[in-house]
Amino acid sequence: MAQYESLVLDIYKNGGRKFLFLNVPPTDRSPYFLEQGNATTTQLAAWIKAYNEGLVTMVRKLKSKHSDVSEFISEIALFDIC
Q: Is residue 37 part of a domain?
A: yes
pTM comes to 0.82
Q: Is residue 9 part of a domain?
A: no
Q: Is residue 1 part of a domain?
A: no
Q: Is residue 80 part of a domain?
A: no
Q: Is residue 64 part of a domain?
A: yes
- For 43, the domain range is 18-74
Number of domains in the chain: 1
Beta carbons of 81 and 31 less than 8 angstroms apart: no
What is the C-alpha to C-alpha distance for residues 48 and 12, in angstroms, rounded to an integer? Answer: 26
Q: What is the bridge-based pairing of β-strands 70-74 and 18-22?
A: parallel
Q: Is residue 57 part of a domain?
A: yes
Q: Is residue 5 part of a domain?
A: no
What is the C-alpha to C-alpha distance for residues 73 and 56, in angstroms, rounded to an integer? Answer: 8
Per-residue pLDDT of the chain (82 residues; tens, 9 = 90+): 999 999 999 999 999 999 999 999 888 888 888 999 999 999 999 999 999 999 999 999 999 999 999 998 888 765 544 3
